[in-house]
Copies of this chain bind each other. A is one copy, B any other.
């Protein structure tokens, strides 16, 4: 694996899930693999799970870890090519990346959607610069349009919770929120589910359809009750409008996931990437109920990251 920014970087999804589950059995089986190598974890945005799970994964592999809160600890970054830097920005992203090239064997970066320009976000105006200028492997810790380490953890979690022969029905359901949130987790989950052996549907209100480039042929159902029927897994997540970019068109029905709605499913396991707004996106009773596998999902972030870092290290070592 050369980079890890989307599902298309994964050669064999079942293989990497298997590897992650082996790592979960024995997280310290490769403590020498990263010795003498350095991973730089660059955060342009807040992070709890990604920050901690990436550090643990790297430490388990013997990697040196550099964590950089870019905005607070370093310099205000310029992203525009050719900019005359006579304003607030102090360092161009391409210079920061070139320096990271000199210091790190692997660069991992979190760069959320700005939610201001649809074009900037769909073009991944920040991650694309890492992809362009990095001379070492680049790992996305969530970018404007995708959150692949989360999606891999989601695949691991579904695999752990399904041992029947028939395919599970997996429903990604939109949930309410109080402010415009990026589509990255939804997009990414959709892409990865298309590679899994599952029946996958998406449900969201009118006006909230995700970008077709990610959902492809996935059925999109605007009636939540209908979509949830017989679901085996329900993935809860808010996102703002893609069409009317970053807007929040009014939604009249109640979309918060409750036990009442769950009753309609096949005792579905409930998933969420966290952080979650309790009693807005889903009810306390669901979050704390027996169907939630949300904390297991959070734990699997470690093994998702460790499997990816390990494969990336194979690539570096081969060179």
Query: CA separation between A64 and B52, bound complex, in Å?
Result: 11
Query: CA separation between A287 and B40, bound complex, in Å?
Result: 24
Report the minimal beta-carbon distance from A279 to chain B, rounded to whole angstroms. Answer: 4
Given contact pairs A40-B52, A274-B95, A280-B86, A74 touches B47 in the complex (Cβ within 8 A)? yes
Query: CA separation between A281 and B275, bound complex, in Å?
Result: 42
Interface of A (DSSP majority class): mixed
Query: CA separation between A69 and B279, bound complex, in Å?
Result: 26
Is there contact, CB below 8 Å, between A46 and B28?
A: no
Contacts of A27 in B (CB 8 A): 36
Is there contact, CB below 8 Å, between A82 and B279?
A: yes
Is there contact, CB below 8 Å, between A280 and B84?
A: yes
Contacts of A40 in B (CB 8 A): 52
Partner of A275, one of B56, B90, B279: B90
Partner of A277, one of B28, B53, B90, B295: B90
Is there contact, CB below 8 Å, between A47 and B66?
A: no
The answer to whether A14 has its CB under 8 Å from any CB of chain B is no
> Which residues of A are at the interface with B, using a C-beta cutoff of 8 A?
27-28, 36, 38, 40, 43, 46-49, 51-53, 55-56, 59, 64, 66, 68-70, 72-75, 78, 82-87, 90-92, 95-96, 98-103, 178, 274-280, 284, 287, 295-296, 298-299, 302
